Amino acid sequence: MTALQIENIGTLAEGLSGYLEKPQINHVRRAYYYAEQAHEGQMRRTGDPYITHPLQVAGILSHMHMDHQSLMAAMLHDVIEDTGITKTAIKTQFGNTVAEMVDGVSKLSRIKFGSQAEAQAENFQKMAMAMSRDLRVIMVKLADRLHNMRTIKVLPPDKRRRIARETLEIYAPIANRLGMNDMRIEFEDLAFEAIYPLRFRRIGAAVRQVRGNRKEVVTRIQTSLEACLEREGLPGRTIGREKHLYSIYDKMRSKRKSFREIMDVYAFRIVVDRVDTCYRVLGAVHSLYKPVPGRFKDYIAIPKANGYQSLHTTLFGMHGLPIEIQIRTEEMEAMANNGIAAHWLYKSSEELPSNAHVRAREWVNGLLEMQKNAGNSLEFIENVKIDLFPDEIYVFTPKGEIFELPVGSTPVDFAYAIHTDIGSTCVACRIERRLAPLSEALESGQTVEILTAPGHKPNPAWLGFVVTAKARTGIRHFLKKQKQSESTALGRRLLTKALASFGASLDKLSREAVSSLLEQLRLDSVNRLFEEIGLGNRMSHTMAQRLIDLNENPTGAGVGGNLLVRDAQSSVMNYARCCNPIPGDRIVGYISSERGMVIHTGDCNNISELRANREKWVEVDWDPEIQGEFTVEVRVELEHQRGIIATLATAITGAEANIEKITTAERDAHFSIVNLLINVRNRVHLARVMRKIRMVKAVTRVTRVKSRKARKPSVRADNVVH
């Protein structure tokens, strides 16, 4: 994108006359004069009057032929933030549409955040919401950032690098995702220069030096391509392409290629009138030079996610020089350079721009779904970054519908791409009609069938292999809701037990007492109170005492029974790794903040250090009906023998137990110690397993490791749980 300098509103208006009506240009003028008055007396760090910034932002948008409302919003985009003018005042003067766009672009400078990362994330969340209402908001925001990057040299080095990195991480990928290639390239080169000025200068100098040596070869190749098209009677123009500096640097770094290897590739673009001509040109250049096998891509039949369409091929040129060719129509060329801005540039063309616009809208809607399910703004921005760097594959449903996914995607990613409910309930898959693991990486062209089961739930292990932001967010959202429901149930049980110790119960408390406590704690429901107690953020005994104090008719004293542990696996009921309690052990519960309840054995070495905070302890017992598997550590002393580990494993599985982990330590030349983490149902089952191990001839001693001392004497309970 050429950095056009707009000197004043007259220069801008003259440029706008080429594509806007006179009344629309007058609206833009009026917005300029309004902004000029609002920013009167304000200066930029460059020493220029502040109004030069909105004017240049509008100039960038006019270069993309954006509509008059976008240009008005560009003129006014800093008025709400930097002056005393309100959104209502802008709405009165220029209408609701422009006011909403200005509000969407305005930064969150008046809100204080805990960190710079959080500020960036919250800012982007607001932008995503505004984009959902009007896609032009992102155009104004990108133009605003582009002009700031063009004038970034006046900032201190540390601030310059921070803004440049944010541009490289967020704004350049957004421009790419929306198909705005010219803007992406300028973002990347400006950010590269700001972060690594010396590298930027050296690569720039090397490119200028090589350019002179390449000129003759480029001219010869271009002449031969043009002659080929003329012989075949194919109308089109041929353009030599040069890689921009950041692209060269990024390929040298990521692909570990030398500068010479990258610059030895010659790239050309052939722009024609119609789609069918693109394929005829492809045949012509393949007859001129031999194509490189496996290097042809048809982005016309299957466009990229950002709407990009083109034919790509690589040829062996004269003397074996590699030549990269892109073939596309004029509309595709406009789409490749301006992305969704081409929606406004080519309003009369119904096919391509509306397609790109729909794709952009789908992406924004996907952002909103991620935003709704994300736990916080930082998690949201992390998922957005994953989504902004796709290297695409294309897979098919059994009915032939195409889905685009990032490289490395699995059937679970594919299931979530179809619909969140399908992702959440998928149990198996077929890839090319064969049953395959849900963790298998998919390849382009495969047909994938997802098998679902009603009531099935996402597996936390899926987070270890999914790659799409939608899948990751969907799984985390479910797990968060599951933890919430479990902590609510645990909190209710803890409060019920605490009230019972006072001889009271929840149903005997007055509604006024409960409402009063919720109001004091600023909680919106009694379930939120249960959840806070279950997570360990509030103490059940203290809450019970306050409820009874608030109750008008407290009952007499009494004693409640111990809390029963009912679940082998729970996100709010954790079993301490220091002592590995199993059913049959005497146990105690410790309420740990944000972890819920941590169960220790009654003789655990670490609980003596935690006894000081008495109100966090809960008397607990095993539920007689408890089922499931519990981890326990067993220490085995044995003589060296070939295949002894396999013999041990056979003995343990023969006792219907599973081995989770094996570690060995050599005690001397003849004896070894083997530590086993095994899963058992209870103490009786453990005794049977240990008896089986003792029957192995090489074994001299078997003991259960009941308690490991924490490394630091001041360790907290939530540091000794798995």
Question: Are 536 and 595 within 8 A, CB to CB?
Answer: yes
3 state DSSP class of 156: coil
222: exposed, middle or buried (C-beta count within 10 Å: 0-12, 13-18, 19+)?
A: middle
Using the 8-state DSSP alphabet, how is residue 303 labeled?
A: -
Q: Is the pLDDT of residue 83 over 90?
A: no
User: Active-site residues: which are they?
Assistant: 81-82
What are the structure tokens assigned to 194, written together? 């700001």
pLDDT digits (tens, 9 = 90+) for 660-706: 888 887 777 788 899 999 999 999 999 999 999 999 988 999 999 87
What are the structure tokens assigned to 447, written together? 């047909």
Q: How far apart are CA 606 and CA 589, in angstroms?
A: 13
Instruction: Report, as an integer, the average pLDDT of 426-455.
Output: 88
Which pLDDT belongs to residue 628? 84
Q: Is 400 left (phi over 0), alpha (psi -120 to 50) or beta?
A: left
pLDDT digits (tens, 9 = 90+) for 169-212: 888 888 887 778 889 999 999 999 999 999 999 998 888 888 77
Place of tokens 């679970």: 412
The count of other CB atoms within 10 Å of the CB of residue 320 is 7
Which pLDDT belongs to residue 502? 76
Three-state DSSP string of 440-488: CCCCCCCEEEEEECCCCCCCHHHHHCCCCHHHHHHHHHHHHHHHHHHHH
pLDDT digits (tens, 9 = 90+) for 90-101: 999 999 989 988
Which superfamily, per CATH, for 357-473? Beta-grasp domain (3.10.20.30)
Instruction: Report, as an integer, the average pLDDT of 385-413.
Output: 77
Helices 511-521/540-550 angle, 10° precision = 130
Question: Are 604 and 709 within 8 A, CB to CB?
Answer: no
Strand-by-strand arrangement of the 587-592 sheet: 563-565, 617-622, 587-592, 596-601, 573-575
**Distance, CA of 397 to chain centre:** 25
Question: Are 598 and 717 within 8 A, CB to CB?
Answer: yes
Instruction: Supply φ then ψ for residue 639, to 5 degrees.
Output: -85, 150
Which pLDDT belongs to residue 717? 34
pLDDT digits (tens, 9 = 90+) for 471-530: 888 888 887 777 778 788 888 888 888 888 777 888 878 888 888 888 877 788 888 888
**DSSP per residue, 590-622:** EEETTTEEEEEETT-TTGGGGTTSGGGEEEEEE
State the alpha helices, DSSP H only, in 535-670: 540-550, 644-654
The closest of 642, 697, 701 to 675, measured between CA atoms, is 701
Give the H/E segment covering residue 232: helix 197-232
Q: Is 656 left (phi over 0), alpha (psi -120 to 50) or beta?
A: left
Domain boundaries, the chain: 9-194, 199-339, 357-473, 474-561, 572-722
Q: Is the pLDDT of residue 455 over 60?
A: yes
Ranking 57-66, 426-435, 709-718 by mean pLDDT, the lowest is 709-718
How many helices, marked H, and strands, marked E, lie in the chain?
Answer: 28, 20
Q: How far apart are CA 267 and CA 290, in angstroms?
A: 15
Predicted TM-score (pTM) of this structure: 0.56
Which pLDDT belongs to residue 339? 67
Give the H/E segment covering residue 692: helix 683-694
The count of other CB atoms within 10 Å of the CB of residue 158 is 8
The topology (CATH level 3) of 199-339 is Beta Polymerase; domain 2 (3.30.460)
110-138: burial string, b at 16+ Cβ within 10 Å, e else: eeeeeeeebbbbbbbbbbbebbbebbbbb
Q: How far apart are CA 619 and CA 211, in angstroms?
A: 79
The closest of 577, 591, 675, 590 to 630, measured between CA atoms, is 577
pLDDT digits (tens, 9 = 90+) for 255-265: 788 888 787 67
Which pLDDT belongs to residue 286? 92
3 state DSSP class of 367: helix
Using the 8-state DSSP alphabet, how is residue 713 labeled?
A: T
pLDDT digits (tens, 9 = 90+) for 315-361: 988 777 888 999 999 888 887 777 666 555 444 344 444 555 666 66
CA atoms within 13 A on the CB side of 512: 5
The topology (CATH level 3) of 9-194 is Hypothetical protein af1432 (1.10.3210)
pLDDT digits (tens, 9 = 90+) for 586-618: 888 887 765 667 888 888 877 776 666 666 777
Which pLDDT belongs to residue 430? 92
Q: Is the pLDDT of residue 5 over 70?
A: no
pLDDT digits (tens, 9 = 90+) for 259-293: 887 876 788 999 999 999 999 999 999 999 899 88
What are the structure tokens assigned to 713, written together? 């004497």
Question: In CATH terms, are 357-473 and 572-722 the same topology?
Answer: no
**What type of residue is 112?**
K
CA atoms within 13 A on the CB side of 273: 3
711: exposed, middle or buried (C-beta count within 10 Å: 0-12, 13-18, 19+)?
A: exposed
Which pLDDT belongs to residue 133? 66
Which superfamily, per CATH, for 572-722? ACT-like. Chain A, domain 2 (3.30.70.1150)
pLDDT digits (tens, 9 = 90+) for 545-594: 778 777 754 443 334 456 677 776 665 678 888 888 999 998 888 877 65
Which pLDDT belongs to residue 684? 92
Q: How far apart are CA 449 and CA 252, in angstroms?
A: 39
Q: Is the pLDDT of residue 372 over 80?
A: no
Instruction: Report, as an integer, the average pLDDT of 449-465.
Output: 87
Which pLDDT belongs to residue 721? 31
Q: Is the pLDDT of residue 636 over 80?
A: yes
Instruction: Supply φ then ψ for residue 518, to 5 degrees.
Output: -60, -40
375: exposed, middle or buried (C-beta count within 10 Å: 0-12, 13-18, 19+)?
A: exposed
Q: How far apart are CA 415 and CA 404, in angstroms?
A: 12
Q: How far apart are CA 439 and CA 431, in angstroms?
A: 12
